[in-house]
Amino acid sequence: MARKKNQSRHNKMRYLITKLSPRSPVSEQYRTVRTNLQFSAVDEELQSMVVTSAGPGDGKSMTTANLAVVYAQQGKKVLLIDADLRKPTVHYTFRVDNLNGLSNYLVGGSALTDVSTPSDVDNLDIISCGPIPPNPSELLASKRMEKLIDEAKQSYDIIIFDTPPVLAVADAQILSSLCDGSILVVRSNQTEYDPATKAIEALKSVNAKILGTILNDRAKQDSNYYYYYGQ
* Distance separating alpha carbons of residues 191 and 164, to the nearest angstrom: 15
Give pLDDT, residue 218.
67
Banded model confidence at residue 8, pLDDT cuts 50, 70, 90: very low
User: Could you tell me whether strands 210-216 and 228-230 are parallel, antiparallel, or unpaired per DSSP bridges?
Assistant: antiparallel
Q: Tell me: pLDDT of 13 over 90.
A: no
Q: Tell me: pLDDT of 142 over 70.
A: yes
Q: What is the CATH number of the domain that holds 124?
A: 3.40.50.300
- What are the CA-CA distances from residue 130 to residues 52, 83, 97 (Å)? 19, 10, 9
Q: Which residues pair with 49 in a beta bridge?
A: 160, 181
Give pLDDT, residue 12.
41
Give pLDDT, residue 192.
80
Number of domains forming the structure of the chain: 1
The mean pLDDT value for 124-136 works out to 96
CB atoms within 10 A of CB 64: 30
Domain enclosing residue 61, as ranges:
2-230
Q: Tell me: pLDDT of 73 over 90.
A: yes
Q: Tell me: pLDDT of 154 over 90.
A: yes
Give 191 or 153, the one with higher predicted confidence: 153
The mean pLDDT value for 190-214 works out to 90
The mean pLDDT value for 15-28 works out to 87
Banded model confidence at residue 14, pLDDT cuts 50, 70, 90: low
Banded model confidence at residue 217, pLDDT cuts 50, 70, 90: confident
